[in-house]
Amino acid sequence: MAEIEHPQIYLISPPEVELSRFPKLLGECLDAVPVACFRLALSTQDEDKLSKIADACREVCHARDVAIVIDSHVQLAERLGLDGVHLTDGSRSVRKVRKDLGKEAIVGTYCAQSRHDGMSAGEAEADYVSFGPVAATALGDGAYAEADLFQWWSEMIEVPVVAEGALDEAEVRALRPFVDFFGISEIWAADDPSEALKSLAAQFS
C-alpha cells in the first residue's frame, strides 16, 4: 500500500468540559481546520450531564457536517442521535456493538499497542482502530505504540488507523506517512485551542 497522502483530524474532547464554554471552543476549532470526526471522551458517568454536553456538541458538529461519536456509551449514542461510538476494550465488544447500532453507525475501538486486538477488531467490522499513546507518558505502565506498528499496519491492513495520545509536532511529522487519522486531544490546555490545532495540522503535509 502506498503512503497515506494526507492524514485527517479526529478531534478528542478533554475529560472535563464546561457546558457554558466548550461548544464555542469546539466550534472555533472546527472552523479553523477541516476535522473528520469529533469524539466526546468525558470522564463523568452522569448520564444527564453527558446528554446535555453531547446534545450541545452534536449541534456544533452537525452544523459543520462533522461526525460525532462518544466513548463507550452505546445506548446514549443511539438515543442522542450521535454518529457512533468509540470503544475502549480492544476487540471484545466490537461485534456486538456493530450488531446493536447497525451498519451505518461509526464503531471504532482503542487497542493500545496490540496488533492482535487491532486485527480482531477489524475482522469484527470496526470502522477504525486506534493505537497509542505514541510516546511514553506518566499514565499507565509506560508502554507506547511505536512508529513501526503504524508502518506495519498501513502496509498490511486496510482498516483505517488512528494515532492518539502524547502527540506533538515531532510525533505528527514522524507518523504522518502511516496513519489515516490523528486523534488530537492535546490542544485544550492551550490558551487558544484553535490556534494550537492549526499548528499541529500544519505538520500533516
Query: What cell numbers appear for 23 in the block?
Result: 461548544
What is the pLDDT, as a whole number, of residue 5? 67
Residues of the chain with pLDDT under 50: 1-4
Name the percent of the chain lying above pLDDT 70. Answer: 97
What is the pLDDT, as a whole number, of residue 2? 38
> Would you tell me how many other CB atoms lie within 10 Å of the CB of residue 49?
13
Q: CATH top-level class for 8-201?
A: alpha beta
Is the whole-model pTM more than 0.85?
yes
**DSSP conformation letters of 75-117:** HHHHHTT-SEEEESSTTTTHHHHHHHH-TTSEEEEE-TT-HHH
Q: Where are the domains of the chain?
A: 8-201
HEC-encoded secondary structure of 34-70: CCCEEEECCCCCCHHHHHHHHHHHHHHHHCCCCEEEE
The string of pLDDT tens digits covering residues 13-23 is 999 999 999 99
